[in-house]
């Protein structure tokens, strides 16, 4: 019997199991985030996290506004893109790969099956851009400090 008679190193049955793992394992990540931590008072939490929460909302809502406007004004009328594409920026850059994969059922429910692939592609662009810009910024800082 040849190794590739049953689908190679990764037969379809294995790929099917693996495709379910991201949705299950994200629960383990979030369930374990605060194990062993003592929570500060509400006032102290807001002092520490308030500016970041405000900034994150500003960026997230901005992505929805920009994405929705681009979709309504250009992508849908000119290219016939599904209006749900307006949420791709926020899903991809704030949510990342896990959110993009987790929303595949939602994309299917609104008739935008290609949205999952587009969101994962945009999330990859976001990660790579962050890494490369971080390396360039770190190198410039390193050169300036010496």
**Structural contact between residues 100 and 116, judged by C-beta atoms closer than 8 angstroms:** yes
> pLDDT-based confidence at 2, cuts 50/70/90?
low
pLDDT of residue 4: 59
CA distances from 53 to 48, 60, 133, 137 (A): 10, 10, 23, 25
Predicted confidence band at 24 (pLDDT cuts at 50, 70, 90)? Answer: confident
pLDDT at 7: 65
- Return the ∠ at Cα 92 (arms to 19 and 62), rounded to 5°: 155
What does the alpha-carbon distance between residue 94 and residue 121 come to, in Å, rounded to a whole number?
A: 13
The residues near 102 (Cβ < 8 Å, ≥ 6 apart) are: 22, 23, 26
Give me the pLDDT at residue 65, please.
94
CA distance 124 to 41: 37
Q: For residues 40 and 115, what is the distance between their CA atoms, to the nearest angstrom?
A: 40
């Amino acid at each position: 019997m040849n190794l590739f008679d049953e689908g190679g190193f990764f037969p379809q049955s294995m790929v099917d199991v693996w495709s379910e793992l991201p949705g299950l394992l994200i629960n383990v990540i979030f369930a374990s985030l605060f194990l062993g931590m003592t929570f500060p008072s509400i006032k102290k939490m807001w002092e520490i996290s308030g500016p970041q929460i405000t900034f994150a909302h500003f960026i997230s809502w901005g992505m929805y506004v920009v994405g929705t406007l681009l979709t309504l004004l250009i992508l849908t009328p000119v290219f016939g893109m599904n209006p749900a594409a307006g949420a791709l920026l926020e899903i991809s850059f704030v949510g990342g790969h896990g959110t993009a994969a987790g929303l595949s059922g939602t994309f299917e429910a609104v008739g935008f099956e290609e949205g999952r692939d587009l969101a994962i592609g945009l999330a990859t662009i976001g990660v790579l851009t962050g890494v490369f810009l971080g390396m360039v910024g770190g190198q410039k800082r390193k050169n300036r400090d010496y």
